[in-house]
Copies of this chain bind each other. A is one copy, B any other.
């Protein structure tokens, strides 16, 4: 299994934003950003999802846009946020996006009487 990753200078901002313009993939990078090694099943479990094949799709989107590294290790696939590359290319971007997810959670909690919040 060999994964295609873009080089740092092949990463494009529209690809990154498009990849992160999805609640499920935002959750993924929040989890990866928390540190430590993660394999696919760990993230899947933490998100409370069940379909491996669906996640394979999301790994590809994140990987091909340059957001994550995906590395085979034995029978597991280790997932890592490409913080160094992303920070080098787009300083402050990932930080403000991660802060934004917290901001949203607060706004959601503060907004009274929204159903299914």
Q: Tell whether, in the assembled complex, residue A111 and residue B9 are in contact, meaning their CB atoms are under 8 Å apart.
A: yes
Q: Tell whether, in the assembled complex, residue A92 and residue B96 are in contact, meaning their CB atoms are under 8 Å apart.
A: yes
Which DSSP category, helix, strand, loop or mixed, fits chain A's interface? Answer: helix
Q: A42 interface residue, CB < 8 Å from B?
A: no
- With A104-B12, A110-B9 known as contacts, the answer to whether A97 contacts B22 (CB < 8 A) is no
B15, B22, B23, B91: the one within 8 Å of A96 (CB): B91
- Chain B neighbourhood of A97, CB < 8 A: 13, 17, 90, 93
Q: How far is the CB of A60 from chain B (nearest CB, A)?
A: 16
Query: Chain A: how many interface residues by the 8 Å CB criterion?
Result: 31
- Chain B neighbourhood of A20, CB < 8 A: 14, 17, 21
Q: A46 interface residue, CB < 8 Å from B?
A: no
* Distance of A100 Cα from B93 Cα, bound (Å): 9
Q: A1 interface residue, CB < 8 Å from B?
A: no
B10, B12, B21, B99: the one within 8 Å of A17 (CB): B21
Binding site for B on A (CB under 8 A): 9-10, 12-23, 26, 89-93, 95-97, 99-101, 103-104, 107, 110-111
